[in-house]
Amino acid sequence: MDDITIQMVKLLKERTNIAKQIGELKKNSGLSINDEKREEQLRTEVSELCKQIGLDESIGKKFLNFLLNESIKVQSEGKQTHLTIFLKAKNLEQQGKRIIHMEVGEPDFMPPKIVQSALGESYDKGFVRYGPALGMPSLREALAKYSTKKFGAEVKQENILVSPGGRFSVFLAISTLLNPGDEIIVIEPAWPAYRDCATNAGVKVRTISTTLENHWNPFIPEIKQTINSNTKMIVLNYPNNPTGKILEPKIQDQVMDLAKQYDLYVLSDEIYSEYAFSMWKSVLTNNYKKSITIQSFSKSHAMTGLRIGYTIADKSIIEKMVRLQALCITNVAEPIQYAALKALDADITQNPKTVKSKIDVLVESAKKIGLDFIPPDGAMYLFARINKPGFDGLEFANRLLDHGVGIAPGDGFGNYKSFIRISACQDQDTLQKGMMILDEVLKGS
Ligand code: PMP
């Protein structure tokens, strides 16, 4: 037994060394780290071997998933993302340079005014102690009512978990509901945290790539083909970051039907639902017991810095997630929860109008510049392709930053090197100025 284990560890070392070398080659030739086709070849070989030698196929494939994730980890070291650009932008600002931030997704307007007084009031009310890990009962009750009214499905207090932002809810859902070696389906382009949380939990990401040509629609038979005995979850994010896409209800229902058929969790990140400019429906309306809906005050109420969001799910799921939340953070700070409770009563109807008018500015100037894109159905971004041979979004983002404008390279959202994401989170004049500089730098390249 010892000998076999030692041999396996030595082989792992050998495999990791080779993965590193392949990583270098990929980097030098501009290839993406993830290669679904190559992985699928290996998967088929492993399946066949398992059958031949009489090993449980599911275990064999879980082991393969572990190896594939290790390769991805070593090959991802030092990879730049839109956060790298954001940090570089902040650094330049500290040196006194003025930067137009079109790389980050953060409303530039203030939270509802009532948040200010609620924060002060929370002291007088004695919200200065530990609280229940699930969240304050008054807030959970209010969120249940708010969600029932807003999302068209009955939500009870027991279905709500208050967390410090949607990001933490995503982390909790993936870390508690999935096990190492399990698989999660992510439709790309996608917000990078799904992939990162999965990799962190030893979960294998299976990518469904969508294209501009196909209007960012996932191909249902491709999803079906990707599902196997290790597949446990599919992620939906509509309105989408970065494309702004909203799935047609019929397609969303088809995905939900597949999830039901194969007993998969559906992690539906709906934090941009306040910014839906065409027909949108929550997966809550599908009334599926294994769905986990993520909401946040970050975008809808412009409360990014207050760090508060919530999960809506079946009680059994909430119970699993809250155990990890209690372990990590005890509870969300009660003054923040109280501010969120008060914010629920505020009139935020102006927010979507403001965001839409900013997106319109981006759409207009992007058309003039001749960028290739589909006008977003929602969210706060424009995801555009630059049709120039050999265009590299990351190189361009770095160069544009030297001219005082931050944008996010498409690469951070999947295999979209020739794309950039532009955020509509500045006033209209600033957005216009940013787009003008972008045009000049693009023409100069
Ligand atoms: N989901 C998506 C799709 C996002 O774009 C973001 C933030 N950019 C989040 C979740 C996280 O939001 P927060 O943690 O601030 O609630």
pLDDT in tens, 40-57: 999 999 999 999 999 999
- Kindly tell me the sign of the dihedral angle through the C-alpha atoms of 282, 264, 189, 82: positive
CA 209 – CA 217 distance, rounded (Å): 9
Of the chain, the end-to-end C-alpha distance in Å amounts to 60
CA 332 – CA 342 distance, rounded (Å): 16
List 163's β-bridge partners, or say none.
Answer: 309
- Kindly tell me the sign of the dihedral angle through the C-alpha atoms of 411, 414, 418, 421: negative
Q: Provide the 8-state DSSP code for 104.
A: S
Whole-number pLDDT of residue 104: 87
Q: Which of 243, 274, 296 should be mutated for ligand 1, with most atoms under 8 A from CB?
A: 296
Nearest in space to 101 (alpha carbons), one of 373, 442, 421: 421
Query: How far does residue 377's CA lie from ligand 1's centre (Å)?
Result: 18
* Residue 80, pLDDT above cutoff 80: no
Alpha carbon 264 to its chain's center: 19
Nearest in space to 427 (alpha carbons), one of 110, 112, 108: 108
Q: Which atom of ligand 1 is nearest to the CA of 167?
A: 14
Angle between helices 137-151 and 334-343 (to 10 degrees): 30
Phi/psi at 423 (5° precision): -90, 140
Structure tokens at 210: 């969508």
* Residue 131, pLDDT above cutoff 90: yes
Rg for the chain, CA atoms, rounded: 23
Does residue 27 or residue 414 have the better pLDDT? 414
Query: How far does residue 170's CA lie from ligand 1's centre (Å)?
Result: 9
Query: How far does residue 271's CA lie from ligand 1's centre (Å)?
Result: 7
Helix, strand or coil, per DSSP, at residue 307: coil
Residue 14 burial (10 A CB sphere; 0-12, 13-18, 19+): exposed
Angle between helices 393-402 and 428-444 (to 10 degrees): 110
Torsional class of 202: left (φ above 0), alpha (ψ -120 to 50), beta (otherwise): left
User: Which CATH number applies to 2-76?
Assistant: 1.20.59.10
| pLDDT band per the 50, 70, 90 thresholds, residue 186 | very high
| pLDDT band per the 50, 70, 90 thresholds, residue 100 | very high
What percent of the chain shows pLDDT beyond 70?
Answer: 99
| pLDDT band per the 50, 70, 90 thresholds, residue 298 | very high
Q: What are 1-37's pLDDT values in tens digits?
A: 999 999 999 999 999 999 999 999 988 887 888 888 8
Structure tokens at 175: 């870390």
Beta carbons of 134 and 160 less than 8 angstroms apart:
yes
Mention the CATH class of domain 113-343. Answer: alpha beta
**Residues of each domain in the chain carrying CATH 3.40.640.10:** 113-343
Q: Which of 86, 167, 246 should be mutated for ligand 1, with most atoms under 8 A from CB?
A: 167
CA 394 – CA 392 distance, rounded (Å): 6
Residues 6 or more apart from 8 whose CB is under 8 A from it? none
Whole-number pLDDT of residue 370: 94
Cα angle, residue 140 at apex, residues 139 and 142 outer, rounded to 5°: 65
| pLDDT band per the 50, 70, 90 thresholds, residue 146 | very high
Structure tokens at 148: 């029932």
**Residues of each domain in the chain carrying CATH 1.20.59.10:** 2-76
Assigned superfamily of 82-109+349-444: Aspartate Aminotransferase, domain 1 (3.90.1150.10)
- The number of C-alpha atoms within 13 Å of 100 and in the hemisphere containing its C-beta is 23
Q: Which of 241, 274, 310 should be mutated for ligand 1, with most atoms under 8 A from CB?
A: 241
Place of tokens 């064999």: 60
CB atoms within 10 A of CB 41: 11
Does residue 85 or residue 299 have the better pLDDT? 299
Q: What are 254-266's pLDDT values in tens digits?
A: 999 999 999 999 9
List 423's β-bridge partners, or say none.
Answer: 381
Beta carbons of 143 and 344 less than 8 angstroms apart:
yes
Residues 6 or more apart from 13 whose CB is under 8 A from it? none
Within 6 A (CB) of ligand 1 lie 105, 165-167, 191, 237, 241, 269, 271, 296, 298, 304, 309
Query: How far does residue 103's CA lie from ligand 1's centre (Å)?
Result: 14
Whole-number pLDDT of residue 27: 84
